[in-house]
Amino acid sequence: MAAAVCGGEDARITAHVPREPSPRQERACIRAAQAGSEEALEQLFRRHWNRAHRAAYLVVHDAAAAEDIAQEAFLAALRSLHRFDRRRPFAPWLHRIVVNRAIDWSRSRSLRGEVGVEPELVSAAAAGYEVEAPHRYSDEVVEALASLSPEHRAVVVLRYLLEYTPGEIAGMLELPRGTVNSRLRRALDRLRILVEGEAR
């Protein structure tokens, strides 16, 4: 059973309150998945799906595309899992794939001339997935986030939803740390202006 290979009963995850596995449990789960355990693969999916989907949604602001991107990112990660160093944490590796694919999708949509976001997809509730992050965005913030460039959305999502440090984000996106800090400052300044404007 997945619970056995991934750390016992403590590692079980409910639909709405995922529990953080210990590094040892995560390594055991990845080792089992690398050995071909379907239960371990399912456990990895259940642990990481909500955040991966939510991150994709907040970058692309399209619920259907976010689901596709998160699924494709998982498939890409699973195809490369045999090369993954299980001494490293799994989540940053997966989130890097998710966010880069989301940025690419957003750029492609921009090149196709698609603009705007359907109002029902702007709502935070429309994403439809619970995440165990302490920072839950209001509808106003989600709507303001949609007005940013994909690159600026990505750093905000990585910093404040997924809680990576600027240094970690720089490594994940292969950017200088100064560029990450600059994008964060500009994005937050823009969000503040938009949200304060909505509040008036």
Q: How far is CA 168 from CA 9, 59, 80, 118, 151, in A?
A: 31, 18, 21, 32, 16
Find, among 130, 155, 183, 97, the residue nearest to 17 by Cα. Answer: 130
* CB-based contact 106:60 (threshold 8 Å): yes
Q: Residue 131: enclosing H or E segment and its boundaries?
A: none
Task: Please state the domain count of the chain.
Answer: 1
Q: Which domain holds residue 114?
A: 2-199
Structure-model confidence comparison of residues 75 and 108, the more confident one: 75
- CA 167 to CA 41: how far, in whole Å? 29
Distances (CA, A) of 191 to 21, 36, 48, 82, 195: 33, 45, 27, 40, 6
Do residues 77 and 91 touch, judged by C-beta distance below 8 A?
Answer: no
Per-residue pLDDT tens digits for 116-135: 444 333 333 334 434 344 34
Nearest to 186 by CA among 150, 144, 152, 146: 152
CB 195 within 8 A of CB 144: yes
Sign of CA dihedral 3, 34, 75, 61: positive
Whether 124 and 138 have beta carbons less than 8 Å apart is answered as yes
Residue 110's pLDDT is what? 67
pTM for the whole thing?
A: 0.75
Nearest to 102 by CA among 72, 135, 79, 77: 72
Q: What is the pLDDT of residues 154-179, one digit of tens each?
A: 999 999 989 999 999 999 999 999 99
- What confidence tens digit (pLDDT) does each residue in 27-74 have? 999 999 999 999 999 999 999 999 999 999 999 989 999 999 999 999
Q: CA neighbours within 13 Å on the CB side: how many for 133?
A: 22
